Every structure is written in C-alpha cells, then in structure tokens.
Structure 1
C-alpha cells in the first residue's frame, strides 16, 4: 500500500494556485514636459546613472549636476519643444499604445505594464502593479534591440535593485537583446520597403546610437573585441557586444530589403563631445553624410534601428538635423524611416518574444 505522502502527483496543479504572467516593457525615459525645470530633472537622473556615465560618483555627481546639466537643460528643452505634439512626448505615448495593444494580443493570462528607466511612469510603479496582481512570474523586456550596459544593463540593474527588498520575489527573466529577432527585422524592413516604393534611393544609412568605445571593450568576452572585423559575424563570443549587434541587425535588414553590401553604410550618432578625447563608436553619422554628395550619393534613406519608438534621437536628430546637414553638403533628399512605434507587425513581434520566453 502506498502512503498518501509518497503518492505520485498526476493531475495538473490547480489553476487557483497560478497567477497571470507579468510583462514589464521598459523604455529609456522622457521629461514630464519640455520646460527647462522638467528637462533638468530628467537629465539629472539620466546623466548621473553610473552605467551611462561610468565615472566615480564623487566626480560624476558634482560634474553633471553642478555644471553639465545646468548648461545643457535650456538647450535640450528647446529641442524637446520641437518634438512635443498634441499627445505630448512621442516616446511616452508610443510606449503606452504598445502596452495596450500587446495586452490585447496576449490576452487575459498576461498582465502587461509599462515603465521608464528615468522619470515617469517609473519602473517601480510598473513593478508594483505586477506585484499587486500577484503575477506568477515576470518577463522584463527593455525596448532596446541591441544590448548595451548603459541601456538594457541599466534597466536590469534597476529592476534587481527594486525587487531585492520584496519578501517574496517571483521568477524574473529578462529579454536582453532582440537585435536579430525576425519580427523586429521584418517590421523595420517593411517600413523601409514602403519608403523605397515612393522614390529611388542611392544609398541606405543605418544610424545607431553611439556609445564610448570603452563600454564595448569593458564588456568584451575574454578580450575577443577588437573594434574591427570581429563584428563581421555574430556569435557566442560577441552576443552582447553592442557594435556586433548593430552590424548584425544591419546585415539582416539589408538582406530583408534586397540590398547588397555596397548599398548601405552603418554609422553611429548622438555622441557626447568630450574634452578628454574619449572615442565613441565610429564612423560618426554626421561626418559620413557630409561626404556622400561629393561621391554622387544624393538621395539617402536613413534608419535608426537602435530605437523602436520615435523620439528626440530619431525625429529631430536623424529626421531634421541630419537632413539639414546633408542638404547643405549638396544632397537632394534625406528621408528618415519611421520607427516601429505601435505598428501591428511590431505588436505581433513583441507578443511572440514574450510567449517564447
């Protein structure tokens, strides 16, 4: 006779013991408004993050809070006022739209929350929403296609910092990179092909947000990274190398759009000027585009595949500032491909990534 204590369990666990699966979508952040005080508050939080500015705290805080941010905030506020529209900050409302649509796609067995790494809605508030709902586990998706310690890594660190004080911590998993995800690639390619149907382009530029070279080297697996031909393939040794991921995304996008290697260029934008002569990933987009018209490249289609929602770095920097530079250098047409935002194909891609994890 088998005692009750040793009897095998054959029936599935009761659904009463299982909660929904929590999904936390996270993007970088945005000021509450384009006013100088709100922009200053946002920049203070962003630029004192030790993963963004990897200086000792004793140097970082007085330098940026005392000098850099007060000087930069009024200029940034002026640019944010160009970006703001009737719905407010595009990065925020596109994120909220995505949250709503992914929730509808995943259904009642999931609870999708949205937070920002800096400012509001906060990661803390989003996690609390999931905690209050007693979710069974949490899947965290930082909305940065290519892993970087200053973006995805910062989100992961913040999440772990917040949940360490919970008495009960559910299972938590991170989707750390989706640089080569088919749904991500196919959505961007579809948007690019739609633009290519409107006119003929001489060349395509894939412009990624820049990071300091030292950030790449600090994360190199056993010294694999040489900031060169090592990025020609995407493999287990450079899986989390930001530069390698950017080139991998570009190769896949080019293939999906039928481009050969001579028809596109990979560049890096948004570098901070440094008096310390600290090199950032190259080539720099602003320098490359100025040379193109003299080479006979007069019509350019530009992507910004490091971002999944339109924001200051896409709409203003790539869409307007680079366009002006290109035309001043003799170019005829510079066209930004819109970001993924809440495109139906992107909603499907996010839902699929969640289900697979």
Structure 2
C-alpha cells in the first residue's frame, strides 16, 4: 500500500484539475428539417420550457407542431447557418477557445449545449475523466430564468446523479446587473453605433420572451431584463425601449412584443432604429434571423427608413474580458487550493 505521504504529482496521482463548463441553449446538428425536428422535440419536451402536463402537451407536440414547425424553422436556420455550423455553436466554441488558458494549466475550459450537441452530460464525463475534481457550471444567461439557467443546471445535476465519484460543483449566478457586464454591453453598443451611417432615433433592447405566467409564479426573469435595460440606458446616457421577442402558442407572453414595438415605432414617426439583444451571450437564430432579418422587414414595411442590428458580445475582446472576470471570481479559492 502506498504511503499517505506519496508525492501528489507522481504520475499515478496526477495533480487534480478544475473544469469550467460553458453552457448555452442548444442547436440542431444541421439546418435540415430532420435535424431541426429532432432538436425541437428535445427542446419542447423540457417541462421547464413548456409547463403543461405531459399527457396534454405531448400529443400536441408530436402532432401539429412537429409536423409543421420543423420545416419553417429549418428555413430560418438556413439563412444564418455558417461553415462552422450554427452561429450559437460557433460562437460558444470560440468563447471556450478564447478562455482556454485564462486560468492556468490546471483549469480545463469546455462548452456544451442544453439541447443537442455537444451534450452537457458527455462533456461533464469527459472533464471527470480528464481529472477534474471541481467543476464550475457556467450557464451563459445574464438574466436568470427557470427555462434557461435552471434547466441547464438540471441537466448537469442529472448527469452527476449517475456518477459514483462526483466532482465538487459550483454554478455561475446570473450577472444581469454586474458592473462588468453592463460596462461590456455599453462599450459594445457604443462601438456598434459608431459604425453606423445614421444616428438612431430609438434603441430597442429585445429580450427573449417568456409566458406571463412565469412572472406571476415568481420567476425573476422579467425584473432582471428590466434592470439590465435600465442600467445599460444609464451607462449610454439615453433610455432604451424594452421589448420581448419569440412568442409561441396562444398563452399571454411578456409584453410589449418586439415585432409590434418596431411597427408601432415606425407608425409613430420613428424612422431610424438600432436594436440589440442583451439577454443573449452569443448571436443565434433568434438574433440573426428573427431580429436582424425579420425585425428589419417589419420596421421598414411599417414606414421606417434605417435599421441596424447590433451584435451580441460573442467572443469580442470586451465579451471575453467580462467572462474571464466573472469566472475568475467564482473560481476564487479553488484556484489557490488546486
């Protein structure tokens, strides 16, 4: 038997590592209808996303929705798909790569998707096999929502439940009002506005929508979005028009809706608009197709003349510096003790 004083850096006992797992929503494996149907089936079967009893919801999902929606969604994905795959996957991969050496040789940074690939459970097991005895789960959602932050953590905890020897776990908290996040947004928006050939009459902050019921049940998401917009407006020195996009189904959703807001602005005489999506850490279908393409069409059709979509933080210098700071704060103690 080996002595308790056996050297900790001996090859048989390699130095324990720390893992940082960046987690985002998800994406189909390709932009064809079959892959999109598979992705939507997983996404819309999550009880955190659709809070309707399974016996009532699944027949609807497997019937009308999955027989009609995948083709329409596939067309939307095809408009924004890149050589590196979906924008969301490409950006999240780039974020992980940019943070690879940010915390030292003993810290492994990886990425995963809640729905689709690479799967959260697969990457957690890979981290464990690589010697990570402590893992920071980092859902890249600035504003907390049960349908985003919580379900990503749920998936990770489900994978941990299958492990006999679990690593220690921390989770990145929401950072909707963190000064570093607001500052990164303000610098990004300011830089984006400087590239335009027009001065916008209004700046719209579009957040992903959620059913009104989630707010009534106590989800803080709506409040987090409103505070982000207020703080960003203060940093920019001008108020932002807040709206919520991506309505789905017949239930009442958070308002005002982004599409109707853009149309109302144009109808009221606002001719020049810039729009951003401060609830997204990476550009994706909802920003590049829904806002940059369809949002523009709605605004121009309603009488607007100038429209600009300002990109997310993505893997920009400001965005990576902000993430590095947030993650380093959550790794305090672990890095010193490792």
User: Do they fold alike, i.e. is TM over 0.5?
Assistant: yes
1:162 deviates by 1.0
1:273 deviates by 3.0
1:350 deviates by 1.2
- Give the distance between the partners of 2:104 and 2:14, measured in 1 at CA: 19
The match for 1:60 is: 57
> Aligned pair 1:90/2:87, yes or no?
yes
Residue 215 of structure 1 aligns to a residue whose secondary structure is helix
1:83 deviates by 1.1
- Give the distance between the partners of 2:105 and 2:321, measured in 1 at CA: 16
- Give the distance between the partners of 1:62 and 1:273, measured in 2 at CA: 15
The match for 1:216 is: 215
- Give the distance between the partners of 1:17 and 1:80, measured in 2 at CA: 44
The match for 1:136 is: 133
The match for 2:185 is: 188
> Aligned pair 1:272/2:272, yes or no?
no
Tell me, yes or no, if the aligned pair for 1:113 and 1:129 is still in contact at 8 Å: no
Question: Deviation digits for residues 164-207 of structure 1, max 9, x if unmatched?
Answer: 11111122111131111233222222221123223311111000
1:122-133 pair list within 5 angstroms: 122-133=119-130
Tell me, yes or no, if the aligned pair for 1:250 and 1:266 is still in contact at 8 Å: yes
1:251 deviates by 1.3
Residue 292 of structure 1 aligns to a residue whose secondary structure is helix
> Aligned pair 1:111/2:108, yes or no?
yes
Residue segments in structure 2 that go unaligned for 5+ positions in a row: 1-6, 331-338
Question: Deviation digits for residues 270-308 of structure 1, max 9, x if unmatched?
Answer: 01131xxx2110111111111112323111110111111
> Aligned pair 1:326/2:305, yes or no?
no
> Aligned pair 1:255/2:231, yes or no?
no
Tell me, yes or no, if the aligned pair for 2:282 and 2:312 is still in contact at 8 Å: yes
1:39 deviates by 0.5
- Give the distance between the partners of 2:290 and 2:297, measured in 1 at CA: 10
Query: Alignment partner for residue 163 of structure 2, among 149, 162, 166?
Result: 166
Residue 37 of structure 1 aligns to a residue whose secondary structure is helix
Residue 150 of structure 1 aligns to a residue whose secondary structure is helix
Query: Alignment partner for residue 35 of structure 2, among 33, 38, 55?
Result: 38
Residue 283 of structure 2 aligns to a residue whose secondary structure is coil
The match for 1:281 is: 254
Question: Deviation digits for residues 62-92 of structure 1, max 9, x if unmatched?
Answer: 2212321121011111111111122221111
> Aligned pair 1:306/2:305, yes or no?
no
Residue 82 of structure 1 aligns to a residue whose secondary structure is helix
1:105 deviates by 2.0
TM-score, normalised by the number of residues in structure 1: 0.86
1:158 deviates by 0.8
1:124 deviates by 1.1
Residue segments in structure 1 that go unaligned for 5+ positions in a row: 1-12, 221-240
The match for 1:223 is: none
- Give the distance between the partners of 1:19 and 1:346, measured in 2 at CA: 29
> Aligned pair 1:202/2:178, yes or no?
no
Aligned length: 319
Tell me, yes or no, if the aligned pair for 1:206 and 1:265 is still in contact at 8 Å: yes
CA RMSD of aligned residues (A): 1.6
Tell me, yes or no, if the aligned pair for 2:188 and 2:318 is still in contact at 8 Å: no
Question: Deviation digits for residues 299-341 of structure 1, max 9, x if unmatched?
Answer: 1110111111111100111111011110111111111111111
1:128 deviates by 1.0
Question: Deviation digits for residues 200-246 of structure 1, max 9, x if unmatched?
Answer: 111110000000011122235xxxxxxxxxxxxxxxxxxxx001100
| Structure 1 outlier segments of 4+, above 4 Å | 13-18
